[in-house]
Amino acid sequence: MTGVGELGTAAQALRSKRLTPSERAAIEALVRAVALLHTRVGYAGVDDAGAAVRLILREPEAGTGGPWATMGTINVGATNALAKRAPQRARADVLLTVDVALHELTHVIQFAKMPAAATPNGAIVEGMADAVAIFATGDDTLGEGMYKTGPDGRPMGSVRELGGAHRTSGAPLGVVINTYAQATAPGAEEHAAGGVVSATFIALRASVGRETAERLLWNVIRDAGAWSAGGTWSELARAMRRAAGTDAALLTAVDAALASTGLNAALR
């Protein structure tokens, strides 16, 4: 952290006079994300054994590419990278929102579950992280808080629109694709391809409700068998079926959700 140094716990960091208001807000967003997951799904540290997530401020790469996660750590920049691309629409002063914090925190948890040598499947880790954020917040639009509010009172953009509701007045940063065939086609961008994962969980939510779909999602995240190779489509589809346990109706709903996006092809 250039020129700031170790700030200690979130409570200690929030008392520091060396932080900008944006940095203070970023810490608060991550604290809210952690508290939300604790309440909703029993979050107990990135390793399920009490390990805290670290937040790095003023990280140069995040300043140009946006927030990113690595083992144990979420990185944010000194300004919002989106504001460099769309200065009329994005807010330079917002470094992290609760939904983006949930997405990045999921990556930290996923990395903690994977064997050290595993190569993460980008599309799967992105789609799972998006699903975590939309279930925890109850909002299918991601990252709209990083954009300004337009004359119509709606955010002027978002990072991704996953529910198709178009709650923003501007275009999302990234499009999503939601079929397994397209997601696994050569050259598919990993955040876009993650749309097949979030779409499968959104289909499940439509049949079993948000709470049950979210519980199943977290059963998969906590299932080490889903991450042994860094996340494969076959492991994901099998872990979703395994997560249904002995609940036959839920298994039927999982199978229908997998079929709705073509992800059932990964079972063969």
Q: What is the binding site for Zn ion (CB under 5 A)? A: 126, 129
Question: What is the rounded CA–CA span in Å between residue 53 and residue 71?
Answer: 9
In terms of CB distance, is 178 or 264 closer to Zn ion? Answer: 178
Q: How far is the CB of 126 from Zn ion (least distance, A)?
A: 5
Q: How far is the CB of 202 from Zn ion (least distance, A)?
A: 18
Question: What is the rounded CA–CA span in Å between residue 5 and residue 12?
Answer: 13
Q: How far is the CB of 219 from Zn ion (least distance, A)?
A: 21
In terms of CB distance, is 202 or 244 closer to Zn ion? Answer: 202
Residues sharing a CB contact under 8 Å with residue 239, sequence separation 6 or more, in sequence order: 219, 220, 223, 225, 226
In terms of CB distance, is 57 or 105 closer to Zn ion? Answer: 105
Q: How far is the CB of 61 from Zn ion (least distance, A)?
A: 14
What are the tokens at 70? 């690595």
In terms of CB distance, is 124 or 254 closer to Zn ion? Answer: 124
Report residue 154: phi and psi, to 5°.
Answer: -100, 155
Cα torsion 264, 43, 45, 75: sign: positive
Q: How far is the CB of 56 from Zn ion (least distance, A)?
A: 16
Q: How far is the CB of 190 from Zn ion (least distance, A)?
A: 8
Question: What is the rounded CA–CA span in Å between residue 160 and residue 172?
Answer: 5
In terms of CB distance, is 71 or 249 closer to Zn ion? Answer: 71
In terms of CB distance, is 19 or 192 closer to Zn ion? Answer: 192
Given a contact cutoff of 8 angstroms between Cβ atoms, the answer to whether 228 and 235 are in contact is yes
Residue labelled with tokens 């929102």: 97
Residue 248 exposed, middle or buried by CB count within 10 Å (0-12, 13-18, 19+): exposed
